[in-house]
Amino acid sequence: MEKLPAEGTQARRFGKTRFAQSTAVLEDYAELIADLLASAGEARPTDIARRLGVSHATAIKTIARLKRAGLATARPYRGVFLTEKGHALADRVRVRHRLVVDVLRALGVPSEAAEADAEGIEHHVSEITLKAFAQFLKLRG
C-alpha cells in the first residue's frame, strides 16, 4: 500500500475536488446556454432542463444561481442570457472540454466515450495539467 500524503496535502487535494464539483454545474449550464443561444437564438429553461436531463425546477434553481453569480440574466418569456462574465466562463469551459477530448482521442479513446468522459474530467483538471495536455498534443503534431 502506498504511503498516505501529509494531512495538509491530502486536505488541499480533496478541497480542490469539492470546489470543482460545486462549480461544475454552473460551468455546464453556462456552456449549454451559450451553445443554445448560438444555435437557436434562445435558451429557454425548458430546453436547458431537457438537454441536461434535469427537472424544470432544478434548471430554474440553477439559473437563479447563475444570476446570483453574475453569469446570467433572464427575462420573462425571453429565456436566459449570459452576461459578459458568463460568456467568458462558457468560452473557457468549451476550450477546456475540447482539449480534454483531443487528448483522450489521441490516446485512442473512441469519440463518443471521449466526449462523455470529458464532461467529468474537464471540471477537475488543473491549469498545469491542461498545459501539459496542450504540449502533448503539440508534440504529437
Provide the mean pLDDT of the chain.
Answer: 93
pLDDT at 20 > cutoff 80? no
Q: Where along the chain do its domains lie? A: 7-140
Q: Using 50, 70 and 90 to split pLDDT, how confident is the model at 14?
A: confident
**Measured between alpha carbons, how far apart are the two ends of the chain, in Å?**
38
Phi, psi (rounded to 5 degrees) for 126: -80, 165
pLDDT at 116 > cutoff 80? yes
Identify whether the C-beta of residue 118 lies closer than 8 Å to the C-beta of residue 101.
yes
Burial (0-12, 13-18, 19+ Cβ within 10 Å), 48: buried
pLDDT computed for residue 1 by the predictor: 82
pLDDT computed for residue 11 by the predictor: 81
Q: What is the pLDDT of residues 36-82, one digit of tens each?
A: 999 999 999 999 999 999 999 999 999 999 999 999 999 877 899 99
* Cα 22 from Cα 26, distance rounded (Å): 8
Class of domain 7-140: mainly alpha
pLDDT at 15 > cutoff 80? no
